[in-house]
């Protein structure tokens, strides 16, 4: 499950607007989504997985026009991010005979198909798989069954997300596997971690270019 937001100017990657401008931030969001979907497609060529795009903003038609008609698009539903993620897991696991599901965002370009494959393998022996992001969140979460407590009472959008999630998992006695720590692209200082093919020129009115 790929969680994303329709790349509309002024509504996506807003923390990068001071560095990239609204148009540049929107284009970067689009590139990150396309890159993530390419990773997911690579994984689907290696193992029998279904790829679903869970979106916020826009609609199925506009998402399909951007990223292709062949994908399954589903509207996120819930009062906050945790509720939306839990709803997606409940739906996916209710329809998955193998009983394993991964949910990823689009902010981590260094997450590979091989790493996602490792996450699926880890779920064979663990209850929860997390891919920790250096900013304190996580770039991947994998479950074999919906666990509502993991999505309640989390201070979403802060550096405490992963720590709070792990604390709940430990309290529940869950077996946890963690993947390597990777960088999310959320703030201007994160742009240095973008691979060259995804890099966006910094708005000349906003500051110096990190990529020459």
- The whole-number average pLDDT for the span 60-82 is 92
In this predicted structure, what is the pLDDT of residue 97?
Answer: 60
Nearest CA to 203 among 64, 2, 13, 72?
13
What pTM was computed for the model?
Answer: 0.90
Residue 131's φ and ψ, nearest 5 degrees, are: -105, 100
DSSP state of 32: H
* Mean confidence (pLDDT) of the chain: 91
What is the token pair recorded at 110?
A: 């260094």
Contacts of 186-193 spanning 24+ positions with Cβ under 8 A: 186/13, 186/15, 186/16, 186/107, 186/135, 187/15, 187/16, 188/15, 188/16, 188/18, 188/19, 191/16, 191/19, 191/20, 193/109, 193/110
User: Do residues 66 and 2 make contact, with C-beta atoms less than 8 angstroms apart?
Assistant: no
How far is residue 151's CA from residue 6's CA, in Å, rounded to a whole number?
23
In this predicted structure, what is the pLDDT of residue 11?
Answer: 86
Architecture of domain 2-198: Alpha-Beta Complex (3.90)
User: Do residues 66 and 7 make contact, with C-beta atoms less than 8 angstroms apart?
Assistant: yes
- Strand ranges (E), 123-202: 128-132, 138-143, 176-178
pLDDT at 190 over 90: yes
């Amino acid at each position: 499950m790929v969680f994303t937001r329709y790349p509309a100017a002024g509504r996506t990657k807003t923390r990068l607007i001071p560095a990239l401008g609204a148009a540049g931030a929107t284009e970067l969001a689009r590139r990150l989504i396309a890159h993530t979907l390419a990773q997911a497609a690579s994984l689907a060529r290696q193992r029998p997985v279904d790829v679903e795009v869970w979106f916020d903003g826009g609609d199925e038609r506009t998402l399909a026009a951007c990223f292709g008609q062949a994908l399954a698009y589903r509207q996120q539903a819930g009062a906050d991010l945790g509720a939306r993620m839990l709803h997606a897991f409940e739906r996916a696991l209710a329809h998955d005979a193998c009983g394993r599901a991964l949910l990823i965002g689009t902010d981590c370009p260094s997450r590979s198909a091989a790493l996602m494959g490792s996450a699926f393998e880890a779920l064979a022996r663990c209850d929860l798989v997390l891919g920790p992001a250096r900013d304190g969140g996580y770039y991947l979460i994998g479950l074999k069954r919906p666990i509502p407590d993991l999505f309640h009472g989390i201070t979403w959008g802060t550096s405490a997300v992963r720590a709070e999630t792990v604390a709940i998992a430990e309290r529940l006695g869950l077996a946890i596997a963690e993947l390597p720590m990777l960088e999310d692209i959320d703030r201007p200082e994160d742009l240095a971690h973008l691979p060259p093919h995804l890099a966006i020129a910094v708005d000349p009115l906003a500051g110096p270019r990190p990529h020459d």
